[in-house]
């Protein structure tokens, strides 16, 4: 018996003649027989998605794939302009921008909702009950001096068009669970509680939907980045085809850059002896 250490995994292993993934033969059992979204769900959860879960998961991937000239897309285009031989660098630069303002909102929302649900003695059974839980969660967030994740959008001031589509699919598939229910209630009560008419945003709804179909909270942002990678690749492909937005941005900023003298540094006194 060999004394060499082994490295156990439930994902993929290969030998000279075969590739196994999730315990199945990649060539005969998976290629051409499952969608990429279906496979991604299995890789993340190590569970076979139900048909309803798979549809919601795919819907989230589509909803998050691209949102135009966001900072992450511009970063990918600019990096490609600077280093066209490094497509991996361009993709990475876009993905690295996934944080609290763009792309990371899905994870932040999922955690916010999960914390509120965990603090409830029991889940509400009426719209009024969900509204009360939501109002309490929003007040606690405000009292802590934190923004309510999933509320507001820099562009869709009158409502994010992804919200109805995502909720319709979740309802059709019987996947509108507690996270989506609570998020919907947040949208109802937030204007009164916060004093601001901020709509729910699609990124927050995606985080709630992913949590409801069993994606672990710590992996929510990873799913968002998986989806957005497709959009970033599209932006890079457009640059490669000659639609040089990055060059125009660079030229415009360079032409209009102006020197401004820095503010004088504040005087600092010495320490008392």
In the chain, what are the domains? 19-48 (no CATH), 105-219 (1.10.230.10)
**Structure tokens belonging to residue 113:** 């909702």
Answer for the pair 220, 110: CB distance below 8 angstroms, yes or no. yes
Its pTM stands at 0.90
Q: Tell me: pLDDT of 258 over 70.
A: yes
Burial tier of 210 (Cβ tally within 10 Å: 0-12, 13-18, 19+): buried
Q: Tell me: pLDDT of 271 over 70.
A: no
What average pLDDT does the chain have?
Answer: 92
pLDDT (tens digit per residue) in 40-69:
999 999 999 999 999 999 999 999 999 989
| Cβ atoms < 10 Å from Cβ of 7 | 5
Residue whose C-alpha is closest to residue 65's, from 30, 38, 94: 94
Sign of CA dihedral 230, 232, 235, 240: negative
Answer for the pair 80, 239: CB distance below 8 angstroms, yes or no. yes
Answer for the pair 169, 59: CB distance below 8 angstroms, yes or no. yes
Confidence of residue 157 (pLDDT cuts 50, 70, 90): low
């Amino acid at each position: 018996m060999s004394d060499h250490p082994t490295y156990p995994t439930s994902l993929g292993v290969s030998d000279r003649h075969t590739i196994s993934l999730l315990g199945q033969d990649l060539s005969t059992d998976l290629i051409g027989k499952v969608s990429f979204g279906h496979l991604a769900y299995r890789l993340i959860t190590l569970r076979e998605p139900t048909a309803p879960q798979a549809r919601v998961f795919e819907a989230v991937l589509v909803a998050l794939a691209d949102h135009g000239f966001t900072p992450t897309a511009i970063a990918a285009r600019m990096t490609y302009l600077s280093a066209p031989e490094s497509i991996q660098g361009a993709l990475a630069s876009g993905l690295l921008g996934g944080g609290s303002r763009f792309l990371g909102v899905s994870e932040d929302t999922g955690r916010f909702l999960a914390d509120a649900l965990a603090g409830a003695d029991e889940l509400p059974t009426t719209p009024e009950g969900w509204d009360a839980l939501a109002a309490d969660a929003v007040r606690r967030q405000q009292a802590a001096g934190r923004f309510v994740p999933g509320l507001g959008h820099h562009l869709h001031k009158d409502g994010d068009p992804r919200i109805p589509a995502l909720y319709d699919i979740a309802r059709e598939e019987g996947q509108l669970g507690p996270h989506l229910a609570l998020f919907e209630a947040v949208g109802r009560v937030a204007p009164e509680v916060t004093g601001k008419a901020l709509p729910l945003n699609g990124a927050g709804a995606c985080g709630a939907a992913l949590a409801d179909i069993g994606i672990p909270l710590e992996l929510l942002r990873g799913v968002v980045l998986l989806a957005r990678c497709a959009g970033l690749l599209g932006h890079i492909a457009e640059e490669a085809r000659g639609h040089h937005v990055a060059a125009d941005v660079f030229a415009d900023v360079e032409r209009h850059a102006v020197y401004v003298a820095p503010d004088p540094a504040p005087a600092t006194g010495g320490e008392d002896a």
